[in-house]
Amino acid sequence: MSRTIYSAAVDLGATSGRVILGRWAKNRLTLTEVRRFPNAFRSLGGHDYWELGTLWHEVQEGLRQAVAALPRGATLASVGVDVWGVDYALVDDTGRLVFPVHAYRDARTQPGLKRLANTRAALDRIYAATGIPNVFYNTSLQLEEVVARCPAITDLASRCLFLPDYFNFLLSGRMENEFTVASTSQLIDVHSTGWSRAALDHFRIPAQWFTPPVLSGTKLGRLKKEIAGASAALAKTQIIAVPGHDTAAAYDAMPAAPDGSDLYISSGTWSLVGFESDRPVLGAAALAARISNERIGDGRYRPLTNVIGLWMLEGTLKDFASRPTNDREWAALITAAEKLPAPAAPLDMAFAEFGNPASMKAAIDAQLRRRKLPRPKTLAGYVRLICESLGKGHADAMRAFEQMAGKKFRRILIVGGGSKNRILCQATANASGLPVVSFALEGTAVGNLASQLISLGAVKDLATFRRHLAADLKQTIFTPRA
Ligand code: LFR
């Protein structure tokens, strides 16, 4: 028997969000983007905050538009939410926010970052316990700072919900910590699916703020009555805890070879380069290469490295008055960048310089000046330099994985915004010596929907979903050039 199922993916990224209606019929998924909106953190008095009220408004509007896009008489079976990692909301028993929601690029974690970096024994212990390296955005460092700065918070807050958990709570009324997003925190035990007592104690974070993580695909209950209103299409809508971390969702959507020979890149604001594994990649060399053993929704591992990503391009564009505003202008910019000679040397894409500079172009220029390298003369020159540098970063990450996990990759699969950027794809192929397969695929939304369809019993498992997906995907292959 074949039935048609409609589900909605709420997919929130650091620079834009969308609500996508998925239609599953005859083993085919079709997507309709019903709402897209910009997102940004805002600075107030020297700190950076997300505008959660605005995001929640957009989510509700998006769901209304999803319902409006349904054929007559159809209902919305389920909703899933995925968001960027690490950020969280501290709430009381009733779910009321008791602390402003900071954005992960806020500089408040810098002292903690340096402290841990300079305490070798603690750094090694935390990496051995959690499999997550010391990175400025980790939830561990963020919560350490809050507890140290505002000790009363341990009484005020009774729960720490990661952002997808918080939206799931607003939609369903149920508070749970979903496993994939919890694994970005540096607080999950790398050898189990529970919290790491060693990490919680080290950062002085109250263990009672968390409950045992639920694996992806857990049904949280029906959409709350006040949100469903009188809509018959929403009366029985299930809220499903999909992979709450957007990168975990994007990795789930990879139409990968079942033998594990593909390396994955989810390319957006960040470039997340990694693979799927039954085992974590640990040890001193892994820590030095900043390998992050984030988790798959079923409990397994997705060791990955975070390369700074298109954030550098997004930032640089802001420094140019004449920047592309539509697809045609983008195409012209990419073509102009392609025609330029390759840059003399790639940038060293250190987080410290490029994580959150006042001007990205000025930060790039400063590094070039320091290294006595020529500065690009045009926006196209910066585009070329950034894409070539990212390609090199992707290839370096690949080699580190091959060495440490004793693997040989045969292809690189790329999804997300960057998969549409041919300079980036070609640069990655050239630097790695591997074919890069770019898919016309909204990876995060597709992985989000896949988890819902599996949870609803419409698809047997992820392997089956990937098989169906691969059967009708458009792909472009970039072969390495010398
Ligand atoms: C991508 C992402 C990355 C994570 C970064 C911060 O959107 O989720 O995986 O490292 O944002 O959360």
* 459/27 Cα distance (integer angstroms): 8
Say whether pLDDT at 345 is over 60: yes
* 278/255 Cα distance (integer angstroms): 18
- Residue 137 Cβ contacting ligand 1 at under 6 Å: yes
Q: Are 264 and 256 in contact (CB under 8 A)?
A: yes
Give 1's pLDDT tier (boundaries 50, 70, 90). very low
Q: Which residues are catalytic?
A: 246
Residue 352: per-residue pLDDT: 87
- Residue 249 Cβ contacting ligand 1 at under 6 Å: no
Nearest to 254 by CA among 447, 449, 66, 398: 447
What is the rounded average pLDDT for all residues in the chain?
Answer: 96
Enter the pTM of the model: 0.95
Q: Are 31 and 445 in contact (CB under 8 A)?
A: yes
Half-sphere exposure (Cβ direction) of 268: Cα atoms closer than 13 Å: 20
* Ligand 1 centroid from CA 247, angstroms: 7
Residue 377: per-residue pLDDT: 94
What share of the chain in percent tops pLDDT 90? 94
What is the per-residue pLDDT across 115-148, written as a single tens digit (0 to 9) for each? 999 999 999 999 999 999 999 999 999 999 999 9
Which of 219-228, 241-250, 251-260, 430-439 has the weakest average pLDDT? 251-260
Residue 472: per-residue pLDDT: 81
Cα angle for residues 106, 107, 111 (degrees, 5° grid)? 140
Nearest to 183 by CA among 296, 295, 299: 295
What is the per-residue pLDDT across 293-335, written as a single tens digit (0 to 9) for each? 999 999 999 999 999 999 999 999 999 988 898 989 999 999 9
For residue 207, list its beta bridge partners. Answer: none
- Residue 104 Cβ contacting ligand 1 at under 6 Å: yes
Buried b (16+ CB within 10 A) or exposed e, 49-83: ebebeebeebbeebbbbbbebbeeeeebbbbbbbb
Ligand 1 atom with the smallest distance to the CA of 245 is 8
Residue 2: per-residue pLDDT: 61
- Residue 308 Cβ contacting ligand 1 at under 6 Å: no
For residue 162, list its beta bridge partners. Answer: 88
Ligand 1 atom with the smallest distance to the CA of 270 is 1
For residue 68, list its beta bridge partners. Answer: none
* Ligand 1 centroid from CA 86, angstroms: 7
* Closest C-alpha to ligand 1, atom 2: 84
Distances in whole angstroms, Cα of residue 381 to Cα of each of 333, 338, 358, 361, 427: 10, 9, 21, 12, 14
Residue 440: per-residue pLDDT: 83
* Ligand 1 centroid from CA 1, angstroms: 39
- Residue 131 Cβ contacting ligand 1 at under 6 Å: no
Ligand 1 atom with the smallest distance to the CA of 306 is 10
* Ligand 1 centroid from CA 128, angstroms: 22
* 433/289 Cα distance (integer angstroms): 20
Q: What is the mean pLDDT of residues 5-9?
A: 98
Residue 352, burial from CB neighbour count under 10 angstroms (0-12, 13-18, 19+): exposed
Say whether pLDDT at 156 is over 80: yes
SS3 170: helix
**Which of 184, 290, 308 most suits a substitution to test ligand 1, by most atoms within 8 Å of the C-beta?**
184
Say whether pLDDT at 370 is over 60: yes
DSSP assignment of 249-268 equals HHHHT----TTS-EEEEEES
Count of residues for the chain?
482
